[in-house]
Structure 1
């Protein structure tokens, strides 16, 4: 008897430790479509935790069953992708999962080619409320997109997000975290669409009108949301908070490039209102990274670097702080006359190659990737240039930033690429030179000094004119 009880206890303990949660779903649509379902844990943007992720390719099956080993309750993003031919639609919802739970879902066709959750059939009140608000938000946003944007009408539409959340919460015994999430979701959706549609309105009016700062006020205290760590669960939170700060410091949201003085003013305002350190760090990252991305190196670079580092010093996360400082300092490599960065690459055989090996001739670098359609369109023009200058005092190098070596090799074979072909698997070259888009072309002199940071596209006559003008070519 004792052995039996011990065995039963061990089995029970094993089941609890596994904490298997099951999500089952049925899709009430035609069988000529294929489906992909994925489940991803929602984690704060300040978290180093790797979110739990599961994905199932259903093919043409109209049902799914996901099993997740969940130790503690939390929020998860559930996405269902539907494809038929070239058409694709995605239904994404946030759900709340607890250990050892079974959640049953049903999806119905909506319109010509999309799906909606049949939230009325969900028995769990927490998830019924989450799914109901999401579908009603989507419905409202679709209506707003087809209307001509205005000001008064927009605010009335936006207030509906809070009313939808209040209705979903009313008279229900929801988990406190779920109820709080619903209120935050209403706030996040309100703010995201407030900035989006007011921007559309201003663009439509072509500068004939202005929107006063008071217009951006809402039915709730915006700042209190940003002082709560839950805001970190929402991907738009950083952008929305930056827009909110712009309104508080300038009177309106801005899309213009910012000086370090403006960045300093905005960060000072934020710190005065005591948000969590992780939120201050995230806003600092956003503002300083954007400043770096739009920065044009000038003769005052050393002073700008000093001022930049002073702002970055206030960041509490040492890894983030050091990365931002390093990214800005690397802008030295974009200055005319800058030396070749000390970065190595792999050739087709897997051997290591350093750029310094190419000193002695001019160097034309083509930064590309196998997935980059504009890069591939430019490839024949690069090959024409290489053939035209064959035997001259210039080398042509193609550096791929592909994250997959096999994709790089396959695309080279397909395009019949030859000559100096290299792979920058970690993407260090593009990062060190602050290159945000490809294709990107650079020219160095025989001493390895930068002549042109961003050359014209190979199909433009201006590029050939620049190469022809190189002395000693």
Structure 2
């Protein structure tokens, strides 16, 4: 009798535990040679904290996730399709899950490699709205890419994002938080595509320029929604809005600090949400760093930069961006190199100080960088031309994967000083935002050229001949 009672209690516990799990399930198109890997990730700030989950579709191309959640939230559903011919395709969608909820989403094939949710078959009203809105937005983005740009006509096409959201939310019985997110996605798509298309407008004095960038809906409410931080182009669209507000073109990277301060002031007048303000200011400061070239005005620029950074409310962000700017000292002419330790091809360690005594030419590259690989033969020729001279040539890989570095190194037949920076620290400290990137140091380890001429240029040989003749 006691055993039966305990068994009944255990069964009841397991039943209740299973009922407490939210479920996300789906079916995927079955086709020969196509397999799927599916990920489910909580969107930071919009869902309970948790790790990304991943599964592979079964033989019937079905998948399932269990979510032990206590609060409702938004999640990113990502599906990677892999094909026998080596192609891959990604599908991403935002879903909304509540405790104990059960969501089933059937997917349909779209064109050769794509996917589309069969949103009308989704029973859950919140997610039917979300998926319908996202599919409609994708279709509208494709239409914009296919259409020729004409300011007035394109402006009307952009308006479709709002029309879609208005129509879908009006007839939906979804929760307010989901409807608000759909409207936010419409605002984001409108702005992201507006700024992309507007790059065709070159003259700010053109009357069509101001008319095209006129916002049909005031952005203040959208900017103050912290969910905007979860959207891929959310912050960049806010920065572009601030560019226009101070009279410069969107995507402008060359800004002085006085202009940046004006943008921060406008941002604070428009946005009251502290986290949103911090993230936008952080992005603008990071953009400034990536476009900055250190000069004799560095110390004065640092002081002005700190003045803006001090307006960040989060202390950790404040310290990080200031530290990143201070690292730009390493890019000043005559600066000592960063004496980091790197891994060599034979897995032994080497520090840059070990190379002192000769000029050092450093090629920062990676196995996935096509321009880098195209330049390798020229680097080999340059190294051969100066063999036996007072100069050392170094190829410094910033690959994340050591095996990929080793494989490509062997394929290219690279010898000599082959170094690997596993943590990418060198490139970060040197503010290297694009590769290949070349640096030249003197025998004492002091910087001669932060952006040295490329190996296939006449300038580098002229420079080396001059230095090595002394």
**TM-score of the superposition, structure 1-length normalised?**
0.90
* Alpha-carbon offset, residue 385 of structure 1: 2.3
Q: Once the two structures are superposed, what CA deviation does each residue of 1:390-443 show, in whole Å capped at 9, x if it has no partner?
A: 222112222221222233233333333222222211111111111111221111
Aligned CA distance change for structure 1 residues 69 and 469 (closer, same or farther; 3 Å): farther
Whether 2:166 is the aligned partner of 1:169: answer no
Match of 1:148 in 2: 148
What is the CA–CA distance in structure 2 between the aligned matches of 1:319 and 1:94, rounded to whole Å? 29
Residue matched to 1:96? 96
- Structure 1 pair 249–366 and aligned structure 2 pair: CA distance change class (3 A): closer
Q: Secondary structure at the match of 1:435?
A: coil
Q: How far did residue 266 of structure 1 move?
A: 0.3
Secondary structure class of the residue paired with 2:384: helix
For residues 59 and 16 of structure 2, the distance between their equivalents in structure 1, rounded to whole angstroms, comes to 38
Count residues in correspondence.
466
Distance 2:35 2:207 in 1: 47
2:460 alignment partner in structure 1: 463
Cα deviations across residues 298-320 of structure 1 (Å, max 9, x unaligned)?
21111111111111111122222
Give yes or no for the alignment of 1:20 onto 2:17: no
Q: 1:472 Cα deviation (Å)?
A: 4.8
CA distance in 2 between counterparts of 1:171 and 1:389 reads 73
The Cα of 1:13 is off from its aligned counterpart by 5.3
* Alignment correspondent of 1:7: 10
2:59 and 2:384 map into 1 onto residues whose CA distance is 50
Q: 1:31–1:60: 8 Å Cα contact kept in structure 2? A: no
Question: Structure 1 CA distance, aligned partners of 2:124 and 2:324?
Answer: 48
Aligned to 1:248: 245
Aligned partner of residue 23 in structure 1, secondary structure: strand
Aligned to 2:71: 72
- Give the Cα–Cα distance (whole angstroms) in 2 for the partners of residues 424 and 354 of structure 1: 11
State how far apart, in whole Å, the 1-side matches of 2:26 and 2:237 are. Answer: 34
CA contact (8 A) 1:363 1:397 kept: yes
- 8 Å Cα contact 1:365/1:396 also seen in 2: yes
Higher mean alpha-carbon deviation, 215-224 vs 419-428, is at 215-224
Aligned to 2:414: 417
Aligned to 1:238: 235
**Alpha-carbon distance in structure 1 between the residues aligned to 2:221 and 2:214:** 13
TM-score normalised according to structure 2 size: 0.90
Change (3 A) 1:309 1:162: same
**90-99 or 282-291, larger mean C-alpha shift:** 90-99
1:167-204 CA distances to partner (integer Å, 9 max, x unpaired)? 2222433123212211211221222222222333x15x
TM-aligned CA deviation for residue 146 of structure 1:
1.7
Secondary structure class of the residue paired with 1:174:
coil
> How far, CA to CA, are the matches of 2:281 and 2:216 in structure 1?
28
> 1:234 Cα deviation (Å)?
1.5
Instruction: Provide the rounded CA distance (Å) in 2 between the counterparts of 1:339 and 1:273.
Output: 43
2:99 match: secondary structure: coil
Instruction: State the Cα deviation string for residues 240-291 of structure 1 (Å, max 9, x = none).
Output: 1112223333286463511111100000111123421111111111111111
Unaligned runs of 5+ in 2: none
Structure 2 CA distance, aligned partners of 1:187 and 1:35? 31
- C-alpha distance in 1, partners of 2:376/2:250? 41
2:228/2:235 contact within 8 Å kept: no
Q: Which aligned pairs between 1:427-438 and structure 2 lie closer than 5 A?
A: 427-438=424-435
Distance 2:291 2:177 in 1: 40
Deviation at 1:452, TM superposition (A): 1.4
Q: What residue in structure 1 maps to residue 284 of structure 2?
A: 287
Q: Does 1:380 align with 2:377?
A: yes
Q: What residue in structure 1 maps to residue 44 of structure 2?
A: 43
Q: RMSD of aligned C-alpha atoms?
A: 2.7
**Offset of 1:337 from its aligned partner?**
0.9
Q: Does 2:394 align with 1:391? A: no
After superposition, residues 66-465 of structure 1 pair within 5 angstroms as 66-84=65-83, 85=85, 87-200=87-200, 202=201, 209-213=206-210, 215-250=212-247, 253=250, 255=252, 257-465=254-462
Give the aligned partner of residue 34 of structure 2.
33
